[in-house]
Each structure stands twice: as structure tokens, then as C-alpha cells.
Amino acid sequence: MISKTLERYTEHPEEEFVVYGHRACQGCAEVLALRLAFKVFGKDTILAMATGCMEIISTPLPFTCWKLPWIHVAFENAAAVASGIEAGVKILMEKGKIEKKDIHVVAIGGDGGTSDIGLQALSGALERWHKFTYICVDNEAYMNTGIQRSSCTPYGAMTTTSPPGKKSIGQSTWKKDMPKIAAAHNIPYVATACPSYPYDLFAKVKKARMVEGPSYLHILSVCPTGWRIPSGDAIKYGRLAVETGVFPLYEVENGQYRITHNVKSLKPITEYLKGQGRFRHLTNDTISKIQERVNLEWEGLKFQCGVK
């Protein structure tokens, strides 16, 4: 088992596996998240990707920005495809058809591909204990198809299918807690991360890579296009999400919860909401409701982590 070296992780791997030529929007933190993550996963990685922004921006036939073996099959099955790859590689090594070495399989889905349509395939793959890492790049909506709500869209947010109106506040449901759902499978490693905190992300990728069995990373990936913020502000909003407690950075290692980036006192939620076009319509009532919920969840997480 890896010791808790998280804060001390300062290594910055040089090699890039997500390279120039992709078509992501300016300032996209989702592709940044992947770029950072794969620096740590490194060369001996096979990637199975769900349909979504990251697939579409990276691989228009006959181009790719991936320097890794990469496959896309469909939207809802990245985890199942990864299961097959992991099994295939394993049996071919066992039979001596390919050389034995430590090849890691990574599946990637957006929040829609993970929390909605791909949840069953993900749950199956985690439960079956394939040795792979699943990354959910969470930009809080179906961005690829034009900003429709997902079950990871936050309360109150405007999307094209949760529009605010006379009878609507915007998204009317609370964000699905995917990391907890993953952790409920009792897998060895679950963590949240955000590319605004690259070293925290590096360390978590490293752990996810090393554990025996499945691991799950939930990466908040600011999407300037969908969140209606200036393209230069993705890193800032990622930080604000953490500093306001909207998206705490923590890990669950063999069932042990640990906050990896403690925030002594949370900034008020308004600092995060203001300036985001998707929250522009929120009333004070809704904002205080959100603040209450954030406080409650933050306290709950602290309690779970034994933080005073």
C-alpha cells in the first residue's frame, strides 16, 4: 500500500500524451485534466473513452491528439470496454502471446457518460474488480451535445434542458454524489480532483495507478463554454469550487476518507456563483438554499474524515 505522500508530491512529469491539434474550446479545463492525468499514467496505458467532448475534440478520423493506444466504442460503455481490454491483455500475457508487463487500462467518461447512461456499466466493472482506473471528467452537463443537464449538474444551474423560467429555477435536483457511489463498491481507491490543483491531481493519479484492483477518479473540469465564463477563468473557478466547499478535494483509500486539501474556512458560495452565466438567474432564496447544502455536506465530509 502506498503511504500518504500526497502533499509532498512535487514531481512534474515532463512527457505529454495529450498533444497539440485537439479541438477543445479555449480554456477548456477538461482536456487540461486529461493532459495532466496522463503525464502520470505514462506510456504503458491503454485508453477506452466514452462518447463526449473529449472524444470529439481529440479524434476526428484520421487525426488524433493521443499518443497512447486509444479506443472509443460508444457513449455508455467505456467501463465495459475497459473490462474487455483488461481481460484480453491479461489472458494474452498469461498465454505468452504478448510480453508480460504492467499495462494499465483507463476508462474515461464525462459526467453524463458516468453518472447517467454509463452508471450500470461502471458499477459492473468496479464490482468485478477489474484492474483499471475510471476517470469521470465532470463538467456538470452534457456539453458535447450542447449543454443539457445531467445528474451531476448542480442545483439551480441553467442548462438547455433545465432552463430557468416562470415555473423553473433551473436544475431542480441536487448533484449526484458519484464519488460516494464509487466508494460504496468498496474499491481500493476513490478520489476527487481538479486540474486547478495539479499536484494534488498527480498524486491521486499515481495512487489510482498503483492500487490492486479498480480505482475511480472524479475530476471537476471547468467548462467555460457551458458555464458561461470567460475562457481565461477556468483555473480560477476550479479553485473557487474547492475554496467554497462546493467541490472538496478528498480521497477514499481502502474505505478511509481523507480531505487532501483542507479549507480552514469556506468562502461564501456567492464568490463561486457570481460571474458564472449558468447561475445568473438565481434568487437569494436559492442561493441560501445552496449555501446551506454546501455547509451541511462539508461538515459531513469533515466528520467522515475526522477533521475538526
Partner 1 sequence: MKTRKGIEVSIAASIAAKLARVEVIAAYPITPQTHIVEHLAEIVAEGELDAIYINVESEYSAMSACCGAAAAGARTFTSTSAQGLELMHEILFIASGMRFPIVMATVNRALSSPLSIWGDHSDVMAARDTGWIVLFCENGQEVVDSIIMAYKMGEDRRVLLPVMVNLDGFSLSHVIEPIELPSQKEVDEFLPPYNPLYTLHPDKPVTMGAYGMPELYTEAKYAQETAIINSKKVIIDVMDEFGKKFGRYYKPVETYNTDKADFVFIGLGSVNENIKTAIDDLKTQGKEAGLINLRLFRPFPSDELMSALQGKKKVAVIERVMPGGAKNSPLYNEIASLAFANRMTLKMENYIVGLGGRDVLPEDFQQIYNEMAAKEKAEKVKKDKNYTVMRVRA
Interacting residue ranges for ligand SF4, rule: CB under 6 A: 24-25, 28, 30, 53, 57, 139, 143, 223-226
120 binds, among ligand TPP, partner 1, ligand SF4, none (CB under 5 to 8 A by kind): partner 1
121 binds, among Mg ion, ligand SF4, partner 1, none (CB under 5 to 8 A by kind): partner 1
Residue with cell 500524451: 17
75 binds, among ligand SF4, ligand TPP, Mg ion, none (CB under 5 to 8 A by kind): ligand TPP
CA 135 – CA 118 distance, rounded (Å): 12
* Residue 233 CB, nearest approach to ligand TPP (Å): 18
145 binds, among partner 1, ligand SF4, ligand TPP, none (CB under 5 to 8 A by kind): ligand TPP
SS3 71: strand
Q: Which residues bind ligand TPP (CB under 6 A)?
A: 30, 51-54, 75-76, 109-113, 139, 142-145, 150
SS3 259: strand
CA-based end-to-end distance of the chain: 26
Q: In this structure, are residues 65 and 17 in contact, taking their beta carbons and an 8 Å threshold?
A: no
Q: What nine digits make up the cell of 237?
A: 473557478
Closest CA to 144 of 212, 55, 258, 29: 55
Nearer to partner 1, 55 or 111 (CB): 55
Nearer to ligand TPP, 86 or 111 (CB): 111
Residue 218 belongs to what H/E stretch?
Answer: strand 215-220
Site for partner 1 in 36-55 (CB under 8 A): 43-46, 48, 55
- Dihedral of alpha carbons 284, 285, 289, 292, sign: positive
- For 63: left if phi > 0, alpha if psi spans -120 to 50, otherwise beta; the answer is beta
Q: Are strands 164-165 and 132-138 parallel, antiparallel or unpaired?
A: unpaired
Binding-residue pattern over the window 85 to 124 for partner 1, x denoting contact by CB under 8 A: xxxxxxxx-xx-xx----x----------------xx-xx
25 binds, among ligand TPP, ligand SF4, Mg ion, none (CB under 5 to 8 A by kind): ligand SF4
CA 239 – CA 279 distance, rounded (Å): 17
Span interacting with Mg ion, options 135-143, 172-180, 233-241, 295-303, rule CB under 5 A: 135-143
Closest CA to 249 of 179, 162, 167: 179
The answer to whether residue 159 forms part of the interface with partner 1 (CB under 8 A) is no
Q: Which residues bind partner 1 (CB under 8 A)?
A: 43-46, 48, 55-56, 59-64, 66-74, 76-77, 79-92, 94-95, 97-98, 103, 120-121, 123-125, 127-128
